[in-house]
């Protein structure tokens, strides 16, 4: 339920109403926008007298919310969310570029790529230390050793760092090394992991599940926020459909749907969505055009030798070319790349 407050409602009156609602055992979320202030109410609303609430002189309107997700809901939080990761801001005025290798293979490899993507304009270094692979015989990642390399690369280049975590043990380790955590598609509905990620104090990017609906995805994000973490962004990385021409089917319409349903920033991953290097650049431009808040792109100094996802990885030179080409697109939608 959403309580819309009147324009002349003072801060003291707002707080008094919040306290009154909380006294019934309900949770509240006070959101102050440019034009309207609302109180989102979470819990069993039957304990409230709705007619009395509508008659309250401080209240302009009372609106029911049918969706099961509340904290991620734009109705509860009309203003777009933004948050800072190290020295970069993810949110409505910026175009965040996350770039780096699918898998961290060595210190030299990661440092080479980190320096290159930094020089080209990326602000977050992505790199996989834990690799949930389809085959148990594929490269599984360097784990903590890789995380140490990520921390060193971040310290040298000034880039913020993001790494996927695949288990509670990985989470406990990664929080000491990286600036932001990624929950991958295979763990989107690992609710116990989501709860702990919500308590960890690090910004989180939640990828869409392989065949998840948007509402399922938003409910997964709700688990993170309900456990205390407001710094969440969503990543569209393609979904599994009947089509086999690309690795997955990139759902750019999801960006538009999400912008209506939630205040959380939306990132697009064209690398995992297609699995085809040649498609990454044009789909990055498309993602910017439909309003994405950033992209995550895989970059490798020697894609032909990559231990994971070489065919979809840009070379450092190709990434630099892409960054030059997307600048006019960023300007067109009034987004800053810095």
Q: How many residues does the chain have?
A: 338
240-262 per-position pLDDT tens digit: 999 999 999 999 999 999 999 99
What's the confidence (pLDDT) of residue 84? 97
* Cα–Cα distance for residue pair 90/39, rounded to 1 Å: 25
Q: Are 29 and 21 in contact (CB under 8 A)?
A: no
Asked if residue 32 has pLDDT above 90, the reply is no
Q: Half-sphere exposure of 128 toward its Cβ, with a 13 Å CA cutoff? A: 22
Q: What percent of the chain has pLDDT over 70?
A: 99
pLDDT in tens, 178-235: 999 999 999 999 999 999 999 999 999 999 999 999 999 999 999 999 999 999 999 9
- pLDDT per residue as tens digits for the range 82-140: 999 999 999 999 999 999 999 999 999 999 999 999 999 999 999 999 977 677 777 77
- Residue-level pLDDT at 146: 96
pLDDT at 46: 87
Which pLDDT band holds residue 35 (cuts at 50, 70, 90)? confident
**Higher pLDDT among residues 321 and 36, named by residue:** 321
Closest CA to 216 of 230, 206, 201: 206
What average pLDDT does the chain have?
A: 95
pTM of the model: 0.93
Q: pLDDT band at 36, cuts 50/70/90?
A: confident
Fold of 83-332: TIM Barrel (3.20.20)
3-state secondary structure of 154: helix
Residue 100: Cβ within 10 Å count: 30
Handedness of CA 17, 199, 93, 290 (dihedral sign): negative
pLDDT over threshold 70, residue 338 = no
Q: What local confidence, expressed as pLDDT, does residue 317 receive?
A: 98
Q: What ranges in the chain are assigned the alpha helix state H? A: 11-22, 50-55, 107-120, 144-157, 168-174, 191-199, 214-226, 253-261, 270-274, 277-289, 316-332
pLDDT for position 151: 98
**Number of H helices and number of E strands within the chain?**
11, 14
**How far is residue 256's CA from residue 271's CA, in Å, rounded to a whole number?**
20
Sorted by where each begins, the domain ranges of the chain are: 2-63, 83-332
How much is the pLDDT for 290?
Answer: 97
pLDDT on residue 122:
98
The yes-or-no verdict on residue 278 having pLDDT over 70 is: yes
The 3-state DSSP class for residue 41 equals strand
List Cα–Cα distances, 173 to 91, 168, 169, in angstroms. 27, 9, 6
DSSP 8-state code for residue 209? P
Helix (H, G, I), strand (E, B) or coil at 23: coil
Please give the full DSSP string across 236-255, using - where no structure is assigned. E--B--S--SSSSB--THHH
Pairing label, strands 2-5, 59-63: antiparallel
Calpha distance 98→109 (Å, rounded)? 17
Highest CATH level, class, for 2-63: alpha beta
**pLDDT score recorded for residue 58:** 95
Q: How does pLDDT run across 2-27, given as a tens digit for each residue?
A: 999 999 999 999 999 999 999 999 99
Whether residue 149 is predicted with pLDDT greater than 90 in this model: the reply is yes
CB 4 within 8 Å of CB 61: yes
Task: Mean pLDDT check: name the lowest of 28-32, 58-62, 99-103.
Answer: 28-32
Query: What whole-number percentage of the chain has pLDDT above 90?
Result: 91
- Quote the CA–CA distance of 17 and 8 in Å, as a whole number: 14
What confidence score (pLDDT) does residue 91 get? 96
Instruction: Give the Cα separation of 286 and 136 in Å (integer).
Output: 35
């Amino acid at each position: 339920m959403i309580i819309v407050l009147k324009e002349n409602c003072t801060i003291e009156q707002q707080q008094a109403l919040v306290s009154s609602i909380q006294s019934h055992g309900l949770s509240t979320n006070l959101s102050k926008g440019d034009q309207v202030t609302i109180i989102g109410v979470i819990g069993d609303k039957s304990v409230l007298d709705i007619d009395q609430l509508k008659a309250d002189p401080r209240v302009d309107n009372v609106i029911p919310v049918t969706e099961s997700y509340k904290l991620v809901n734009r109705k509860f939080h009309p203003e777009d969310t933004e948050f800072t990761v190290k020295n970069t801001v993810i949110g409505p005025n910026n175009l965040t570029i996350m770039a780096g290798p699918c898998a961290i293979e060595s210190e030299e490899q990661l440092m080479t790529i980190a320096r290159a993507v930094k020089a080209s304009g990326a602000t977050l270094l992505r790199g996989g230390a834990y690799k949930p692979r389809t085959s148990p015989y594929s490269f599984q990642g360097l784990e903590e050793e890789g995380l140490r390399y990520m921390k060193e690369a971040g310290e040298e280049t000034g880039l913020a760092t993001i790494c996927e975590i695949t288990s509670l043990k990985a989470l406990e380790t990664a929080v000491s090394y990286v600036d932001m955590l990624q929950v991958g598609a295979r763990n989107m509905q690992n609710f116990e992991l989501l709860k702990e990620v919500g308590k960890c104090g690090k910004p989180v990017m939640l990828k869409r599940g392989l065949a998840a609906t948007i509402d399922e995805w938003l409910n997964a994000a709700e688990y993170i926020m309900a456990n205390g973490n407001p710094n969440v962004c969503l990543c569209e990385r393609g979904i599994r459909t009947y089509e086999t021409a690309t690795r997955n089917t990139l759902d750019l319409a999801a960006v538009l749907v999400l912008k209506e349903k939630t205040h959380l920033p939306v990132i697009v991953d064209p690398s995992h969505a297609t699995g085809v290097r040649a498609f990454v650049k044009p789909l990055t431009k498309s993602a910017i055009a439909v309003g994405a808040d950033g992209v995550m792109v895989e970059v490798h100094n020697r894609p032909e030798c990559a231990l994971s996802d070489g065919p979809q990885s840009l070379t450092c030179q190709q990434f630099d070319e892409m960054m030059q080409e997307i600048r006019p697109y960023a300007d067109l939608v009034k987004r800053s790349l810095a």
